[in-house]
Structure 1
């Protein structure tokens, strides 16, 4: 398409092939009647927020379009919107309408397909559209080539809306045209025409969709909730409470050192580990320190708990506080292989008298005596203690234990050891310490429902927020309409 302006002699040359009736010179903005090659009038050039130049190509819905014309329409004194005329390679028409940064892609529609159901409702195929508003407007500025004569008189636009779709009825003089429109994203326009800057959004567009597809989101949320429920059910049914550790530990045996427990295996979902501790405290305290060690990663989780119980008599009434039993949790213990490191202490403890006694068989047995002439042998492995009231009985037991019957020198040495090496200052067992031990039990609890409940609650809350939010969004979209279905 090649035309030379009869006014300013500018060459208006584009790749268009449709039969244009009028064009506006890109240099002097004269509206030229092509058949007469004369100027009809000078038209204001569209500048503000115009982002698609005449002749620009773009791909929408896999169809390539040329921008053949631009019209800025005016409503009232200060309301403007822009319409871009498009042509595909077959000469079919399409339009892009932009108002306050919101874009609508429109195609011509035959009036025979439109059914007027009432003064406010029309129907196209199986979809009903509600009357949004009627807008009288005029052409404020224009540029490009047009196959119909431009009408600068007042035209009436009547929009009908259903969600993100619309039907636009344009009436000018005695002619009526219909267009079906659909919201098109700003990013889609940018990509289609390879442009970077577009007008900013303002308010909510007439066919702007909600930010997310609520129905699709609720379906995804429901499916997610179902999967979570099935996973939780499997975790609960696949395991039960597991008593993984139970032992009574003497305070004397863990003085200044830690007890290393046997290894244990945990399988299933992550769950809290409950530790129960009991000590026979009486107006005193005890403390248990416990570390859970993951044998694969060497990760250590430490916890400590005081056990206290006090009682008395005051003002004619007895009182007590605290407890001999305490419980605490190690939360979120994952499956794996573990062991405990345990230490404990208590108020007012004394050393283990057997530690300073005479050691037999490389420390497997310990011997002590008291100031009353009583003797005790403790098996350091089983903690069993055997008492002797006579020195000779103790001597014979040690001789038999070490097989010294034919070794007089060893027996002579034993006599001197029993006489002088056995400590008597502890006064065992009369001065043996009260509350000698603490009992510890560890139970791996079932999988917690707490996180499960939180996730389900969040999913349900998100679904409700989406549903309510869409209602407010739709109501706000109809605020500028005098035919809003939300009016009271």
Structure 2
């Protein structure tokens, strides 16, 4: 169909077959009455954020529509939304409404099917309840296209009812009362349907905008995931036995400047930590053990190095000690398979000055030790001179005579001086190697529940965060409503 404007003689075409009552000239914007072929008024052209054109075609839900009209409605002083009138090939109407980048696809419905409830604060359609959102008074701000009914430029009242992503819209104007059923349509679907490049950006939350994902479906997925994790954990726990898998005592001399290959051991069942305990009889000295766990099937190697050190002594009237003769560590997440260790180790020499850990008197100027025969040895730390005492009484008296011991409790501490090995030049045989070996013991621990618990906790936290986010989202959606089910601050 085509019409020639009686004022500017511009030809106005539309590829649609329906009864047109009036149209707006695309050139001079005059509203032309078809019957009289005269202008009734000049209408402002819709320009801002208008992305569809008159006559443009697109496919929505497998139905081809043509854009036959565009109306911009205005509420208050600066609130606008756009309505695109659509016709399919059968002449059926549809509408696209866009506000702040949010789109709603609507169809006309019979008002008799809509039942008002709760003094108009709710509406029912086909057994589904819709909550009253807002009542808005507006008027036509700009328009273009071809129209089956005469446009009403007077004040119109829109009353909207919402349920999730669906809505009922009631439009009342002079002698007219129409109902529309609408549902959210994504802007990407609109973009694809009409093959347009740019669409208005989102602003705020749309009246029927869905949450970013299906919350109920997400809960179902999380529940199934948690169940599967529980079943896997149950299988891992029941399919393996916790046991000691390796134990060996290694001479330091056997691994001096080289690595030792241990005997192989088998791990069967689910992945779990492998706890290793290394120990040596260190005494005021240290030892170091290097351990490589080798997977014989994949040749993958996990390496670690651990120090074993233990020191003790007597200082400022107090016994002190630090360190330990053993050290524990884990190889985490060891998978089933056949393994062996590569072992290297070294230690500090045991031949050292025993007086360093002896009983310190006179603020450390003298050090005292004793041997297994009851001999006491006192070393002057300034001159390194060592004096031997075979009788405890004589030794105590000399200490008091030198004013090195004044308190009775200090005298008593002489009786508790620890035994130390004294070098041969002081007439006592030294045991020069008190820690000739290092012991290595490996145990496959019970399957850890930490990873299982952490995953379950994260799933619960995720669902809780989604629930809170959805509640905030819905509250934002109803922010401009006079009938919000959410408390507004």
The CA deviation at 1:174 is 2.0
Structure 2 SS opposite 1:448: coil
Residue matched to 2:94 = 94
CA RMSD of aligned residues (A): 1.7
Residue matched to 1:234 = 235
**1:204-228: per-residue Cα shift (whole Å, max 9, x none)?**
1111111121111111111101111
**How many Å separate the matches in 1 of 2:67 and 2:456?**
51
**1:323-353: per-residue Cα shift (whole Å, max 9, x none)?**
2222111112223332210011111169xxx
What does 1:348-427 correspond to in 2, within 5 Å?
A: 348=349
Instruction: Answer yes or no: is 1:138 the counterpart of 2:166.
Output: no
Structure 2 SS opposite 1:160: strand
**How many Å separate the matches in 2 of 1:178 and 1:330?**
70
TM-score, normalised to structure 1's length? 0.81
**How many Å separate the matches in 2 of 1:212 and 1:289?**
52
Instruction: Answer yes or no: is 1:328 the counterpart of 2:341.
Output: no
How many residue pairs match? The answer is 410
| 8 Å Cα contact 2:101-2:203 kept in structure 1 | yes
Unaligned 5+ runs, structure 1: 351-428
| 8 Å Cα contact 2:350-2:432 kept in structure 1 | no
Structure 2 SS opposite 1:473: helix
Check 1:325–1:487 CA distance in 2 against 1; reply closer, same or farther (3 A cut). closer
Residue matched to 1:156 = 157
**How many Å separate the matches in 2 of 1:244 and 1:109?**
76
The CA deviation at 1:431 is 6.3
The CA deviation at 1:319 is 3.0
Residue matched to 1:438 = 438
**How many Å separate the matches in 1 of 2:482 and 2:12?**
44
The CA deviation at 1:316 is 4.2
Larger deviation, residues 179-188 vs 11-20: 11-20
Unaligned 5+ runs, structure 2: 352-428
Residue matched to 1:115 = 115
**How many Å separate the matches in 2 of 1:35 and 1:308?**
107
**How many Å separate the matches in 1 of 2:316 and 2:39?**
115
The CA deviation at 1:432 is 6.7
**1:439-467: per-residue Cα shift (whole Å, max 9, x none)?**
10111222222221111111100100111
The CA deviation at 1:311 is 2.4
Structure 1 SS opposite 2:434: coil
Residue matched to 2:218 = 217
Residue matched to 2:287 = 286
What does 1:18-33 correspond to in 2, within 5 Å?
A: 18-33=18-33
Structure 2 SS opposite 1:58: strand
Residue matched to 1:277 = 278
**1:124-156: per-residue Cα shift (whole Å, max 9, x none)?**
122111111111111111111111000111111
Structure 2 SS opposite 1:458: helix
Residue matched to 2:475 = 475
Residue matched to 1:39 = 39
**How many Å separate the matches in 2 of 1:194 and 1:320?**
80
| 8 Å Cα contact 2:308-2:327 kept in structure 1 | yes
Residue matched to 2:11 = 11
**How many Å separate the matches in 2 of 1:315 and 1:200?**
77
| 8 Å Cα contact 2:108-2:181 kept in structure 1 | yes
**How many Å separate the matches in 1 of 2:310 and 2:77?**
85
**How many Å separate the matches in 1 of 2:240 and 2:117?**
63
Residue matched to 2:75 = 75
Residue matched to 2:245 = 244
The CA deviation at 1:269 is 2.7
Residue matched to 1:52 = 52
Check 1:209–1:168 CA distance in 2 against 1; reply closer, same or farther (3 A cut). same
The CA deviation at 1:433 is 2.8
**1:233-275: per-residue Cα shift (whole Å, max 9, x none)?**
1101111213221101111111111110123333333221110
**How many Å separate the matches in 2 of 1:141 and 1:183?**
24
Instruction: Answer yes or no: is 1:190 the counterpart of 2:191.
Output: yes
**1:152-197: per-residue Cα shift (whole Å, max 9, x none)?**
1111111111111111000011221000111111111111111110
Check 1:315–1:432 CA distance in 2 against 1; reply closer, same or farther (3 A cut). closer
| 8 Å Cα contact 2:285-2:350 kept in structure 1 | no
Check 1:30–1:323 CA distance in 2 against 1; reply closer, same or farther (3 A cut). same
**1:297-339: per-residue Cα shift (whole Å, max 9, x none)?**
3332211111122222334443332222221111122233322
Residue matched to 2:411 = none
What does 1:288-327 correspond to in 2, within 5 Å?
A: 288-327=289-328
Structure 2 SS opposite 1:64: strand
**How many Å separate the matches in 1 of 2:469 and 2:430?**
78
**1:73-94: per-residue Cα shift (whole Å, max 9, x none)?**
1111111110000111111111
The CA deviation at 1:487 is 3.5
Structure 2 SS opposite 1:273: strand
Structure 2 SS opposite 1:329: strand
**How many Å separate the matches in 2 of 1:89 and 1:82?**
23
**How many Å separate the matches in 1 of 2:312 and 2:266?**
41
**How many Å separate the matches in 1 of 2:14 and 2:68?**
9
**How many Å separate the matches in 1 of 2:136 and 2:283?**
89
Residue matched to 1:347 = 348
Structure 2 SS opposite 1:306: strand
**How many Å separate the matches in 2 of 1:458 and 1:114?**
45
**1:346-386: per-residue Cα shift (whole Å, max 9, x none)?**
11169xxxxxxxxxxxxxxxxxxxxxxxxxxxxxxxxxxxx
Residue matched to 1:452 = 452
Residue matched to 2:399 = none
